[in-house]
């Protein structure tokens, strides 16, 4: 039934795999398949209604929140609270974004949510707990000692457990504790932007005033930060490398992926660095020409933003060197899985651009300054599994 979030599923391979694994997999709602966008959304709405009528999905009879736990086999443990959060305006600085969004994706998600009248998967928000959130932290731990409402293990080896919290006193405690904190969007910028768009379309008060989220205290449960890679369509890697002549240093590496990523990490310690792939080898790109960076990167942003790998990639490489429109799905795809990015580049004759992850403290510091990073700059995790908690707005 579960699936990774919609933007993590590698299409079409991952969609077809999840569909064939279970006729009731949530991927049929979050990534419906049909000939046109309208038909896809209609299909998702029809499927959701059918699953509700058949009891595949059931409505919790009591209003409440959910304690959600993820655990892997290597000692990683994450717990948080799933619930409906009030959709706030950026000026309130209650929810802090750290990345730009792509309008066409927001439009796509909005059309799907309108058709289904549902929040189909929670986005991931983080906050920094302190002495004022001790009661909530204790409540989460106590709840996790009880038998779960639901328990499952996904293909990636993660175990997932879920508990409902319905006691009025417990709900009041959580709401009171967390009301005083800011939340950073760790994953789900497009869904949050979609929540904001849909809220403006419906007169308040309405169910659209809130959106489904998972809140994790990273003081207690630090998240992992990984990179999101790029697949450039129609640009063979050797052409991409040739265009870098005189602008960057490029070294060809005929080594396994794991060793190439280690080389990328070492190079990233000294400055901007990228790994290109697509021809069976890897090309380590680093040492950008300072004059080129000065000409292509906007000077009206903080140094921490100007020196981001994602900034250099988008402002210098994509816009200036390769001249690839970053908001066109026909030219560029964003993929979380490293090996899948390389494999698709080699299969399709394109260029994989592998990124090194940015540190969480840099992300949070820029967000507090109101500075957004280039789109798809980070991948926080582990991400909540889709399909465990949905929010239907018309029930």
pLDDT recorded at residue 359: 84
Q: What distance in Å separates the CA atoms of residue 216 and residue 68, rounded to the nearest whole number?
A: 9
CB-CB neighbours of 60 under 10 Å = 11
Domains of the chain: 13-224+382-392 (3.90.1530.10), 229-376 (no CATH)
pLDDT recorded at residue 10: 67
Poorest-pLDDT segment among 84-88, 160-164, 173-177, 374-378 = 374-378
Residue 374 has pLDDT above 70, yes or no: yes
CB-CB neighbours of 136 under 10 Å = 21
Q: List, in sequence order, every beta strand (DSSP E) within 50-158.
A: 65-71, 77-86, 95-96, 118-119, 123-127, 150-153
Query: What does the chain come to in residues?
Result: 395
pTM of the model: 0.82
CA atoms within 13 Å, Cβ hemisphere of 209: 6
pLDDT tens-digit series, residues 245-294:
999 999 999 999 999 999 999 999 999 999 999 999 999 999 999 999 99
pLDDT recorded at residue 13: 77
* Cα→Cα distances 323→67, 294, 311, 376, Å: 46, 18, 15, 18
């Amino acid at each position: 039934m579960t699936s990774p979030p919609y933007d993590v599923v590698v299409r079409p391979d991952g969609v077809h795999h999840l569909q064939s694994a279970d006729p009731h997999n949530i991927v049929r709602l979050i990534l419906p398949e049909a000939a046109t966008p309208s038909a896809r959304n209609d299909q998702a709405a029809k499927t959701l209604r059918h699953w509700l009528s058949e009891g595949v999905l059931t409505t919790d009879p009591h209003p409440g929140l959910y304690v959600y736990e993820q655990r892997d086999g290597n000692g990683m443990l994450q717990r948080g609270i799933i619930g409906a959060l009030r959709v706030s305006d950026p000026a309130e600085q209650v929810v802090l974004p750290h990345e730009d969004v792509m309008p066409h994706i927001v439009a796509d998600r909005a059309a799907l949510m309108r058709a289904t009248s549902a929040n189909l998967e929670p986005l991931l928000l983080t906050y920094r707990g302190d002495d004022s959130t001790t009661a909530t932290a204790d409540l989460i731990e106590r709840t996790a000692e009880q038998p779960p409402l639901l328990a499952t293990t996904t293909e990636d080896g993660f175990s997932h457990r879920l508990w409902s919290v319905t006691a009025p006193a417990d709900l009041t405690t959580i709401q009171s504790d967390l009301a005083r904190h800011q939340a950073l969007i760790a994953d789900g910028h497009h869904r949050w932007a979609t929540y904001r768009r849909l809220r403006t379309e419906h007169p308040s008060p309405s169910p659209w005033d809130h959106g489904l989220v998972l809140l994790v205290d990273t003081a207690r449960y630090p998240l992992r930060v990984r990179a999101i890679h790029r697949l450039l369509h129609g640009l063979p890697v050797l052409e991409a490398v040739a265009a870098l002549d005189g602008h960057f240093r490029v070294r060809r590496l005929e080594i396994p992926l794991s060793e190439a990523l280690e080389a990328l990490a070492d190079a990233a310690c000294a400055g901007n660095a990228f790994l290109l792939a697509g021809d069976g080898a890897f090309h380590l790109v680093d040492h950008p020409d300072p004059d080129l960076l000065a000409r292509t990167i906007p000077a009206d942003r903080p140094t921490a933003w100007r020196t981001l790998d994602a900034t250099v990639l988008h402002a210098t490489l994509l816009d200036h060197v390769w001249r690839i429109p970053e908001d066109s799905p026909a030219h560029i795809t964003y993929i979380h899985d490293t090996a899948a990015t390389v494999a698709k580049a080699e299969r399709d004759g394109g260029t994989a651009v592998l990124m090194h992850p940015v540190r969480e403290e840099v992300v949070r510091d820029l967000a507090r300054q109101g500075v957004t990073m280039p789109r798809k700059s980070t991948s926080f995790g582990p991400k909540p599994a889709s399909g465990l908690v949905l929010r239907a707005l018309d029930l």
